[in-house]
Amino acid sequence: MSRTPAFTRLWLIRHAEVETPYQGVFGGTIDMNLSDRGRQQAVALANSLHRNRFDGLYASPMRRVQQTLAPLLTNGLPPPQILPELREVDFGVWTGLSWEQIETQFGVSVHGWLDQLERGVIPKAESVGALRARLEPCLRRILATHSGGQVAVFCHGGVIRMFLAMLLGWPLSRMSAFEIEYASVSQVRSSPTKTRLELLNFTPWRDLPP
């Protein structure tokens, strides 16, 4: 009898809210810190996750991700594996610009930023091909290492959308239909032959005071 392929449950977790000057901005490769509210979100996130037993824990090296992860590590989890491949997308000349600045300077609606990235029209930005080339081996390695287990990956909105696109077999631009908010959790159940989206954009900090 053939064996049913083992499913790996993959938790994709975006960093919490960043400091005020970088909100509403294409931060990309800028290594900013969390805001005060972001630190509160990180604590709420850790409280919601601490009962889960993770077989693997991976994280981007960027400060906003490391600061989001820090409260969870106080609950006795082992240190995460820091993977440079999990850094955020490089937005080229859009880096550091607000949505309004991009619309004014480039005459494009940033609501279609994934389509712009996919078509390769953002000057000096990382191409979708290059993004996939650095993330796909990383994703496959994580899934293979923890086959049948449960893994958390702390990273960025662009990275999460690329992971979901690869796992679901969809173009990256289609991920614009999904919101990936600060300190959100999305979850997939994946095997070599099938992926099921189980949770999307869960925000455990939602009841925090404004």
Q: Could you tell me what percent of the chain has a pLDDT over 90?
A: 81
Q: In Å, what is the CA distance from 63 to each residue of 19, 104, 158?
A: 11, 30, 16
Q: What is the pLDDT of residue 210?
A: 75
In whole angstroms, what is the distance from residue 94 CA to residue 172 CA? 18
Query: What pLDDT digit, counting tens, does each position of 2-26 carry?
Result: 455 689 999 999 999 999 999 999 9
pTM: 0.94
What is the residue whose two structure tokens read 């930005």? Answer: 125
Task: Give yes or no for residue 188 having a pLDDT over 60.
Answer: yes
Q: In Å, what is the CA distance from 117 to each residue of 31, 72, 75, 97, 196?
A: 21, 33, 38, 15, 26
Q: What is the pLDDT of residue 3?
A: 57
In whole angstroms, what is the distance from residue 127 CA to residue 140 CA? 20
Task: Give yes or no for residue 116 having a pLDDT over 60.
Answer: yes
Q: CATH fold of 8-202, please?
A: Rossmann fold (3.40.50)
Q: What is the pLDDT of residue 4?
A: 59
